[in-house]
Amino acid sequence: MEPILDSTIEVRSYLGPADERTLADDVLDGLTRPLKELPPKHLYDARGSELFDAICELPEYYQTRTERLILRTQAQTIVARTSAVELVELGSGSADKTRVLLDAMEAARTLRRYVPVDVSETTVHAVAERLVEEYPGMSVHGVVGDFERHLTHLPSPLGPRLFVFLGGTIGNFPPGSRRRFLRGLRKVMGPDDHLLLGTDLVKDPRIIEAAYDDSAGVTAQFNLNVLHVLNRELGANFDVDRFEHVAFFDRKREWIEMRLRATEQQHVRVEALDLDVEFAPREELRTEISAKFTPERLRSDLAAAGLELVELYTDPNKLFTVSLSRLG
């Protein structure tokens, strides 16, 4: 198929007042539980997205460079195997590693469209503008939305699609929601489509914990930023300096948790919700889990969603894996 000649950008946002409600509902629900908790998507405002990009450059954060290495080694094979003309990326962020795949599609002369899907509006716009310049002839259809709720708004396919979900983001779902998410994704995939999924592997917990608690303190800033989001968006009065970043690997569940620990007793008011929240000294608020996988768990999660594993690409040190699957 020949690439289209006109480069075009279209960005549609599906986030609206209902999503402000989502934040409000998540906070009301999460801060009134016995173990206080917030979903990780609220970590990614514009500042949070910048901090995440900085994390990806840290020496301790092996995930990004390992996944990039795997993609560099395998991109040509993946593109040949899938014949994809379109790349749909969930949680696209700054789409840095995506270029490796787009380059391979361009070299194979199949590349027609890139569809980034992310909750961070500024990121989707910036990526759309940058990538149409870098790939003449490719169009971009950005979707500003929640990949748990807005996948039905993807544009109609132009041909075989490669869905990509990188960075180990799938690990942020607890196991039940992970399977529900994969089933939802399978429903929007067609028989010619493939899914390329990046997952972090179970390994020595010290390596994992260092990746989420770096010596420069960038991950701590990223984690604490969610309190600034609540202060700004919901008129809360968190004293950010009285919380500290915590990361630990839960060996039984094989996931890492990020939490924010109150350094002393405190009372927080969330004005928009008319909510008063008490934190006991050392009480913790969970802000993210990131599950680590074995190949067996990955295969069974995919199978439970009706997806068949085609290939597993892993680095020589078995730190990270990128799997290719299709409808089973």
Interface residue with ligand SAM, options 166, 170, 196, 273 (CB under 6 A): 166
110 DSSP 8-state letter: -
Site size for ligand SAM, by CB under 6 A?
19
293 DSSP 8-state letter: B
Q: 83 to 122, contacts with ligand SAM by CB under 6 A?
A: 91-93, 97, 118-120
CB of 99 to ligand SAM, least distance (A): 12
Interface residue with ligand SAM, options 70, 167, 218, 230 (CB under 6 A): 167
CB of 257 to ligand SAM, least distance (A): 15
Query: What separation in angstroms does the CA of 232 have from each of 201, 236, 272?
Result: 36, 7, 10
CB of 49 to ligand SAM, least distance (A): 6
Nearest to 279 by CA among 296, 260, 300: 260
CA angle 296, 116, 103 (to 5 degrees): 80
| 104: region left, alpha or beta (phi > 0 left; psi from -120 to 50 alpha) | alpha
Question: Which range in 15-23, 104-112, 161-169, 188-196 contacts ligand SAM by CB under 6 A?
Answer: 161-169
Closer residue to ligand SAM, CB minimum distance, 3 or 168? 168
Q: How far apart are CA 303 and CA 269, in angstroms?
A: 45
187 DSSP 8-state letter: H
Q: 1 to 40, contacts with ligand SAM by CB under 6 A?
A: none
Q: How many CB atoms lie within 10 A of CB 51?
A: 21
The rounded Cα 232 to chain-centroid distance in angstroms is 23
Interface residue with ligand SAM, options 41, 112, 178, 194 (CB under 6 A): 41
Interacting residues with ligand SAM (CB under 6 A): 41, 44, 49, 52, 56, 64, 91-93, 97, 118-120, 146-148, 166-167, 169
